[in-house]
Structures are given as C-alpha cells and as structure tokens.
Chains A and B, each alone.
Chain A
Amino acid sequence: MSISGQAFLAGAFEHPGRELPDESLAQIHATVCLGALADAGLTMDDVDGFFCGNDAAGAGWISMADYLGLRNLRYMDSTESGGASPIYHVSHAASAIVAGKCSVALVSLAGKPRTGTNSGPGPLKVPEDGFEGRMYGVAGATSTYALAARRHMHEYGTTSEQLAEIKVAATIHASHNPNAFLRKVMTVEEVVGSPLIADPLHRADCCVVTDGGGAVVVVSADVAASLARDSVKIMGAGEAGKIVNGGKTDLTYSGAVWSAPRAFEEAGVTPADVDYVSIYDSFTITVLMMLEDLGFCAKGEGGRFVQDGALVAPHGRLPFNTDGGGLANNHPGHRGGVTKLIEAVRQLRDEANEGVQVPDCQIALVHGNGGDLGTRMRSATMILGREDS
C-alpha cells in the first residue's frame, strides 16, 4: 500500500527564537505544537496521533502528551533517528493515516543546546563501545564528518573551496530571513579562512548552535480538504539505515543511496522533476554527499555541482535550504529534520521569504541524515508536492 497522495502536511511552525534561556524544553515543544496546529486551523483536541524523538522532555511521547494535554491519542511513536527523526515521524504518520490508525498527527522537535541542555536520555551503552567514539577522541560530530570529507577529497578531488560554496549559498538565503542566527553573507574566502575545527572542516563548515524547535501537522485527505489553508501533499517517502557492516566501512556514500530511490519510486517522479530541496546540512560535506546520493549529480561530482551558485535561490539550478538551513538559520537541539520539512512547506505554499521563493515551486525533496556520516546512520527522504498537484 502506498502513502502517495493519502496524507498531507497541513500545518508547520518554526519557533522564532534562537536563544531561549528562560523557556523550559517542554515549553518550547508546547509553543511549536500550538503554532503548527494554529497554522493548520486545528486544536490539541483534534490531535489523535503524536510523534517525538529523544529531544522531547521526559519519557518519550507520554510525558509530552501529559504536559500538552493530548487526551485523544490513538497512535503514538517515539522513533529516535537522530536529527532525521521528524522526517521518519512524518513518514510513519502518513502510513498510520493510510491504515486508519489516526487522522491528525502532530510531530514535534525542540532543544536548548545554546543556553541549556537537552533532557533526553543519557548516553546508552552501545555494543561498539571501546571501538569508536570516546576512546579515540571523537569530539562531537565534526571530527567524524571530517573523516568522510577527507576521504571524499582523496577519491574525487573535492576541495575546501567547493564545500565553502554550500555555506555561502546558505548565508545568502539567511540574509533574507529576519529570524536567522547568521544574517551576514559569507564569502568562500571567509569560510576557508575560518579556524579549522577538525581538518579538513572549518568552523564555517559547521551548522549553528541554536535553541528552538518546530512542529508539523500531518492529516488525512478528508481533514486536509476540510481546512481553509493550503496543505502540502506527501507524494513519497523512503527510509534506510547504513550500517558499519562488520568493518567494511566506506565513507564515500550515505544511506540516501537507498532511501532516495524508494521515495522517488513511490512519488512517481525523478530528481529532474524537483524544484527545491531541503537537505539536512549538519556540515557542508553532508550536503555535498547527499546531492550525489539523492541523484542530483553523479558520485564524485558534488564539488563541481555546487559551484557557480547552483544552490542559490531563486534561480540556481537546484535551490536548497532557502531559510538558511542549519548552516546559517537554525539547528534546534542539534537536529535539522523539522526545519527542513517546514521550509519545504513554505516553498510549496509560496510562503518563503522574499527574495528566495522558488518560482512555480511544484515539487520539493526533504532529506534527513540522522547519526554519523563517519560511522552508522539513518536516512530518510520525502517527496512533497502542492496540495492540488
């Protein structure tokens, strides 16, 4: 059974804040949930499906359901897939809607890495402990994404200047976004001149650190038709996991090589049909590798693809992350999934910021990578279209 055309994104809301020292984590969730429901023209009492990841306050969905007063739930899912979690949640919500298990699903993400701490569970005892990570000085994700970047450069001749083009495009977009964390347009020279954090990645190759959150509402076709606002059609979704595979580690590709074809097949479209992409941009290298793995260029061609303003809205070959993305706008809870969905909804409703709206935007792709480009990861790809497409 396909979800294509059976479920719709009816509401989306991004918290306008980037530093929220005086708000609790649960309060940020509440703010974005109310915002997304108001955007859709729905209320908490309409919600019968609820989805959140480990960024939610307390013990998965039940603590947040209790805090928010969600009394009519009949489908709940705390799937934890790192920063890509909300894209998994929308995909799973669409499947649940198709199966008749719920009709109004609320997906929420929030975090306070800038002024507080996330209250999710502490580090789990993973089976690979001792063979990765803390033993060898893995310092946040930058050091392991750098391993992938270095190998990409070695195999394909990718350069730091090409990676920098991705940051430049993001900052051009962020300059049109009054809420963006970084509003100054950067040059390639400024990006490669910023301090090295983990060679070959510079500070400017990394996403911003912000508080905040976002939420989206997924509804059935019947509910979508009853709402005054334009909804966005879910045309297809694909998921995949890339495992370390017993030590046969290959850092030159991501799980998108599997998740993207699944999403395109379900949607019945190809990369050539896509007008806008939201790609989770934890680092510049993440975007470059996803452009290849999603099928927008051949493996190894990402560096050349991003040159000459290809990613810059409104007239680049493939405008991306027109809100500024995680690289320049917002990266709440160190998780990029929800803001990617929200900006795609804005583009398909012609509600992007002035100067970055893609003309006649009909089809958008959303991709999230959860986990680590340097080890194991979850990949989720979604194809969205206009309600009447």
Chain B
Amino acid sequence: MTTVRTDSALPVPAPDVNPDTAEFWAATQEGRLLVTRCSQCGEAVWYPRPICPFCHSTDTVLEQASGRGTVYTFSIVRRAPGEWGQATPYVLAYVELEEGPRVMTNIVDCSVEDVYIGAPVEVVFFDTGEGAALPRFRLVDA
C-alpha cells in the first residue's frame, strides 16, 4: 500500500465513477491498484468491467495488482490545451503491468528525458479531491 499524494505537478481530473468502476476508484483512495481478473479464463482485464472481453464470462473479480510494470511506449507532450498546457512537457505512456494489461498513464517524478521503453516503473497515486486517486507511475531502479 502506497500513500496517496496531493503534490501533483500535473492536473488531477476526477473520473466519471460508475457502477463498473466504483470499487476500483474506492481502492485508489487507499493507494491500492486493482485489476479485473476473469474467474473463468484467468485473464487480467483492463479497464475494470464485470464482463470478461476474452471469454465473455460475467464471473470476474477485482484483485490487487503489484503496482509494478515497465514502459511499453511513451510520448513527451510539448503542446497541450487548457491546464495541461501549463504542465508541459509531460510524459504520456502505456505501462505494461506485471499482471499483463498495458494501461494508459503518465510517468512522473523525473525528467521527461529519462523515460525509455522497457524502463521499470511503480504506481503512485494522486488525489483528485473527489473520492478517487489517479494511478500514475514513476521510474524505479531495475
């Protein structure tokens, strides 16, 4: 369990929480990253939902992920509209979780030039102030 931070250098918009995702977002407030696991075929599923998109079973559970992964791909965003424009340059990325799914996120707490494909990362949470915390990732030593 990691702590939920309030010192984000990036905007922290609130998600649209719905019945599919309420349990996921509640866990983020405790610094826990959950991933849907299908009880039938065993696949990990991203984003959270009660139907497995692989075998179409509705027998799924949210389980705790390790919070570790590697960078699958990334972009250094240098022009952006609105409040994100104040935060440039920042890193938009896909992180491949240890559990398998590749998730869209940001890489934070580093120089944008330090990010590379394959870099090991771990999750950090940033409080939206509206009942959810956003999972982002930071570089860790290999």
| Chain A residues at the B interface, C-beta cutoff of 8 Å | 125, 127-140, 142-144, 146-148, 150-151, 154, 195-201, 243, 245-249, 251, 375
A135 to chain B, nearest CB (A): 5
Q: Which residues of B contact A201 (CB under 8 A)?
A: 75
Q: Tell me if B25 and A147 are in contact (CB < 8 A).
A: no
Q: Is the interface of B mostly helix, strand, loop or mixed?
A: loop
> Bound state CA distance, A248 and B47, in angstroms?
11
Question: B46 is contacted by which of A131, A139, A151, A251 (Cβ under 8 Å)?
Answer: A131
Which positions 17-71 of chain B face chain A at CB distance < 8 Å? Answer: 17-18, 20-21, 25, 43-49, 52-54
| Chain B residues at the A interface, C-beta cutoff of 8 Å | 10-11, 13, 15-18, 20-21, 25, 43-49, 52-54, 72-81, 84, 87, 90, 92-94, 97, 100-106, 117, 132, 134, 136
Q: Tell me if B73 and A130 are in contact (CB < 8 A).
A: no
Q: Contacts A136-B105, A137-B87, A246-B101: A199 and B76 contacting too (C-beta < 8 A)? A: yes
Question: A151 is contacted by which of B16, B43, B49, B72 (Cβ under 8 Å)?
Answer: B72
B5 to chain A, nearest CB (A): 16
Question: A143 is contacted by which of B77, B102, B117 (Cβ under 8 Å)?
Answer: B77
A251 to chain B, nearest CB (A): 6
B92 to chain A, nearest CB (A): 5
B78 to chain A, nearest CB (A): 5
Q: Contacts A147-B93, A154-B73: A127 and B101 contacting too (C-beta < 8 A)? A: no
B3 to chain A, nearest CB (A): 20
Given contacts A127-B20, A134-B13, A198-B75, 4 further A-B contacts (CB under 8 A): A127-B18, A139-B84, A246-B45, A247-B102
Q: Tell me if A137 and B84 are in contact (CB < 8 A).
A: yes
Q: Tell me if A137 and B77 are in contact (CB < 8 A).
A: yes
B71 to chain A, nearest CB (A): 10
B49 to chain A, nearest CB (A): 7
> Bound state CA distance, A283 and B141, in angstroms?
35
Q: List the B residue with the shortest CB-CB distance to A140.
A: B81
Q: Contacts A143-B92, A147-B92: A131 and B47 contacting too (C-beta < 8 A)? A: yes
> Bound state CA distance, A148 and B11, in angstroms?
24
Most buried by A among B45, B46, B52, B136: B46
Q: Which residues of A contact B48 (CB under 8 A)?
A: 131
A207 to chain B, nearest CB (A): 15
B139 to chain A, nearest CB (A): 17
> Bound state CA distance, A316 and B105, in angstroms?
41
